[in-house]
Amino acid sequence: MSWENTNVLITGGLGFIGSTLAHDLAELDASVTLLDAKLEDYGANPANVDTIRDNVTIVEADLRDVKDVAPYVTQSDVVFHLAAQLSRTVSNENPATDAEINCQGFLNVLSVAKSATDSPRIVFTSSQAVVGRPASLPFDETTQAAPLDVYGANKRAGELYCNLYYESHGVPTVAVRLTNVYGPRAQLSNPNYGVINNFIAAALRDETLTVFEPGTMKRDFVYVRDITRGLRCLGFEQRAVGERYTLGTGDATTIYDLAEAIVDTAGSGSVKLVPWPDDWESIQVGDLRSDPSKMCDHFDWEPETDLTEGLVETIDYYRDNLEAYL
Amino acid sequence: MSWENTNVLITGGLGFIGSTLAHDLAELDASVTLLDAKLEDYGANPANVDTIRDNVTIVEADLRDVKDVAPYVTQSDVVFHLAAQLSRTVSNENPATDAEINCQGFLNVLSVAKSATDSPRIVFTSSQAVVGRPASLPFDETTQAAPLDVYGANKRAGELYCNLYYESHGVPTVAVRLTNVYGPRAQLSNPNYGVINNFIAAALRDETLTVFEPGTMKRDFVYVRDITRGLRCLGFEQRAVGERYTLGTGDATTIYDLAEAIVDTAGSGSVKLVPWPDDWESIQVGDLRSDPSKMCDHFDWEPETDLTEGLVETIDYYRDNLEAYL
């Protein structure tokens, strides 16, 4: 795969996955533009791109203003659409904002791509939230949509937008359902984003990692570098156009085991089981585990970093950079 | 069914279906509030409620401003959500506006309903646009979503919102997929809304009804009074809560035959076949015909007005009120 001189736009480029992908692509000599609205609490962190600042272009713009983003979409060969409202809790408390960012914002990207003389490829990151509480596991890209939260419903809308802009307007779109992604560069302290990073923050501060009883709920935790390697396939390979994929490890770990592994790796912190808060129960979805076979079949993609190794790399990163993430 | 003293809110209440439903419910002594943003070109027409003006409350408010609509949703027993961006063409030209009205606007209604002490029932009108070009006909409420336009994708999001607000938050929602609805009180002259009404306008002005070649595409044309009778079931019957239905006749008529029937009924106008405009082809979806069996099984609902009779009533109405609709 040669990315040399390819014009790449990453929306949400200062965030966790977007900035990690930017590191990959800058190293591969792509011409990388990072677009980010820097919304408070949404995960944008300039520290994420400190070491590649001279190799990328950073633009502060909000996808909700189509005219602000149009020139950047138009001049791209590939757009990785990572910008999103990411919290299920926030999506239920403020559903209109979720729709504004995750529906309107993405539609703005697609409509500009449609109007471009040479439409850029659009890689859309969907979520396991689309499948809700599936009848059987593992789930994959064909599993019926049955979201239990507004976030999941709007991510499903995004998948449908991908289909129709490809089918009806010829925009080369790709959608991919992600499981629970962890790794360096995620924000640590916002309780609405990712149990794993909250746990790491607690462990590094030698605090208690609070696991809701009985802690046996399983999730498919996937390391961010495996995700960005998968995204690069989807941005590059011709076969991906018009398709939908699933990116996860295919394995699952209980929340309790995850917390213990983090405490062990960090060498600090402790794990405590506590009762579920009443108001959280309604959005719990039981176990989740993905089947990423289609990625493997089409592109020989496989997860390469197991949880033990991924936690070591993640905790090492935050130990060295903790100030920037709290 | 007694609607006496039931507090009913109809969003889009000055529009075609909303105002027709208002006539029904005012006659049944419901306490009816019509909420409408009166957006230009969206079908709101004060003439639609001229004869019931003293029996209903009319509020001008936009669903996109949650605080403006919250009090009206909160104090309702039943909300019929008819307000929408309705044109597939507009949805593709201005997708963000479609999402703003059809996603955000509806989410505002649902989130207010969720927060209410006693959540009103929400009846959501979805569309056959959700199913796109189905693999087989007839389609129904279980047919897989595969929208070919942003309008259909966002209507699908609305269906998913209904499911999740019911499942996760206990809001009593009902969704219903409508086919091509026609009848009195639709706007006649906007080319983006409904072939049937454009045809009627042309016939009444003794103009040419332009049918795109070969005119053999079939649609399931359903009379608006059959729709509002169905909507009243869905707003009233306990069995409907948490369910999704389909409302159509189960029959289909070609566009050419429709045009001829309109010319015959009006006694004026003529039909002409012309080539498809190039840019319209991409959103054509082939034939469509619904299966409304679930409505029939659950509520003994059946379409009562056939196309011939419906066209007579519709054309009679517009002949008497043409000024108000051009």
User: For chain B, what is the total number of helices (H) and then of strands (E)?
Assistant: 11, 13
Q: What is the mean pLDDT of each run of 10 residues along chain B (326 residues)?
A: 94 98 98 96 93 97 96 98 93 95 98 97 98 96 97 98 97 98 90 82 94 92 98 98 98 96 97 82 76 98 98 96 89
The span from the CA of A138 to the CA of A129, in Å, is 14
In chain B, the residue whose alpha carbon lies closest to the alpha carbon of A155 is B157
Domain match, A87 and A24 both: yes
CB proximity A282 to B under 8 Å: yes
Domain match, B20 and B142 both: yes
What are the respective helix, strand and coil percentages of chain B, to the nearest 5? 45, 20, 35
Quickly tell me which residue has 């009593």 as its tokens.
B172
| Cα B19 to Cα A9, B57, B95, B98, B260, distances in angstroms | 47, 12, 26, 22, 28
Per the domain annotation, does A101 fall within a domain?
A: yes
Residue among A96, A154, A167 whose CB faces B108 most closely? A96
The yes-or-no verdict on residue A280 having pLDDT over 70 is no
Q: Which amino acid is at B71?
A: P
Can you read off the two tokens belonging to residue A255?
A: 């929340």
CATH of the domain at B14: 3.40.50.720
> Around Cβ A293, how many Cβ atoms within 10 Å?
15
Q: Hey, is A192 helix, strand or coil?
A: coil
Domain match, B121 and B51 both: yes
Q: Torsion over CA of A314, A319, A320 and A321, rounded to 10 degrees?
A: 80
Q: What are the chain A neighbours of B96 within 8 Å (beta carbons)?
A: 64, 66, 104, 107-108, 111
Nearest alpha carbon to residue B173 among B227, B129, B125: B125
Inter-residue contact B301 to B233 (CB < 8 Å): yes
Chain centre distance of CA B133: 20
In chain A, the residue whose alpha carbon lies closest to the alpha carbon of B105 is A96
DSSP H or E run through B168? helix B150-169
Domain match, B138 and B154 both: yes
CATH of the domain at B214: 3.90.25.10
| Cα A149 to Cα A128, A154, A205, B108, B154, distances in angstroms | 11, 9, 32, 14, 16
| Cα B269 to Cα A33, A100, A200, B317, distances in angstroms | 58, 45, 74, 17
Nearest alpha carbon to residue B17 among B90, B83, B111, B88: B83
Nearby residues of B15 by Cβ (< 8 Å), 6 or more positions away = B36, B42, B43, B44, B45, B48, B82, B83, B185
Domain match, A228 and A189 both: no
- Angle between helical axes of B307-321 and B195-204 (0-180°, round to 10): 60
Q: What are the chain B neighbours of A108 within 8 Å (beta carbons)?
A: 95-96
Q: What are the chain B neighbours of A167 within 8 Å (beta carbons)?
A: 148
The model's pLDDT over A122-169, given as tens digits with 9 standing for 90+, comes to 999 999 999 999 999 999 999 999 999 999 999 999 999 999 999 999
| Cα A19 to Cα A24, A31, A81, A187, B46, distances in angstroms | 9, 14, 12, 12, 53
Can you read off the two tokens belonging to residue A318?
A: 């935050």
The span from the CA of B30 to the CA of B5, in Å, is 5
Per the domain annotation, does B233 fall within a domain?
A: yes
Per the domain annotation, does A297 fall within a domain?
A: no
The whole-number pLDDT of residue B53 equals 96
Can you read off the two tokens belonging to residue B20?
A: 């027709």
Q: What are the chain B neighbours of A150 within 8 Å (beta carbons)?
A: 107, 161, 164
Q: What is the CA radius of gyration of chain A?
A: 19
The whole-number pLDDT of residue B193 equals 72
The β-bridge partners of A270 are A208
Q: Which amino acid is at A159?
A: E
The whole-number pLDDT of residue A247 equals 98
The yes-or-no verdict on residue A45 having pLDDT over 70 is yes
CB proximity B242 to A under 8 Å: no
Per the domain annotation, does B300 fall within a domain?
A: no
Q: What is the CA radius of gyration of chain B?
A: 19
Domain match, A17 and A62 both: yes
Q: What is the DSSP string of A252-308?
A: -EEHHHHHHHHHHHHT--EEEEEPPPGGGGGG------B--HHHHHHH-------HH
Domain match, A51 and A94 both: yes
Inter-residue contact A193 to A87 (CB < 8 Å): yes
The whole-number pLDDT of residue B60 equals 98
Q: Give the mutation candidate from A103, A151, A155 for the B interface (greatest B CB count, under 10 A).
A: A103
Q: Give the mutation candidate from B63, B85, B103 for the A interface (greatest A CB count, under 10 A).
A: B103
CB proximity A66 to B under 8 Å: yes
Contact flag B99-A111 (C-beta cutoff 8 Å): no
Per the domain annotation, does A63 fall within a domain?
A: yes
Can you read off the two tokens belonging to residue B296?
A: 């029939």
Per the domain annotation, does B295 fall within a domain?
A: no
Nearby residues of B54 by Cβ (< 8 Å), 6 or more positions away = none
The span from the CA of A133 to the CA of A148, in Å, is 8
Buried b (16+ CB within 10 A) or exposed e, A138-162: bbbbebebbbbbbbbbbbbbbbbbb
| Cα A321 to Cα A259, A316, A326, B142, distances in angstroms | 21, 9, 10, 51
Domain match, B75 and B205 both: no
The span from the CA of A281 to the CA of A149, in Å, is 12
pLDDT class for A279, splitting at 50, 70, 90?
Answer: low
Q: Where are the alpha helices (DSSP H) in B58-141?
A: 66-74, 88-93, 95-99, 106-115
Inter-residue contact B159 to B141 (CB < 8 Å): no
CB proximity B322 to A under 8 Å: no
Nearby residues of B27 by Cβ (< 8 Å), 6 or more positions away = none
Q: Strands A218-219 and A253-254: what pairing?
A: antiparallel
The whole-number pLDDT of residue A15 equals 97
The whole-number pLDDT of residue A31 equals 98
Domain match, A158 and A190 both: no
Domains held by chain A: number: 2
The span from the CA of A308 to the CA of B165, in Å, is 38
The mean predicted confidence, pLDDT, of chain A is 95
Residue among B64, B107, B146 whose CB faces A95 most closely? B107
Per the domain annotation, does A14 fall within a domain?
A: yes
The whole-number pLDDT of residue A284 equals 62
CB proximity A161 to B under 8 Å: yes
The whole-number pLDDT of residue A89 equals 87
Q: Containing domain of residue A242, as a range?
A: 7-181+222-247
Per the domain annotation, does B301 fall within a domain?
A: no
- Give, as one character, the DSSP assignment of residue A214: T
Domain match, B63 and B37 both: yes
Domain match, B215 and B226 both: no
The yes-or-no verdict on residue A281 having pLDDT over 60 is no
Q: Hey, is A93 helix, strand or coil?
A: helix
CB proximity B68 to A under 8 Å: no
Domain match, A75 and A177 both: yes
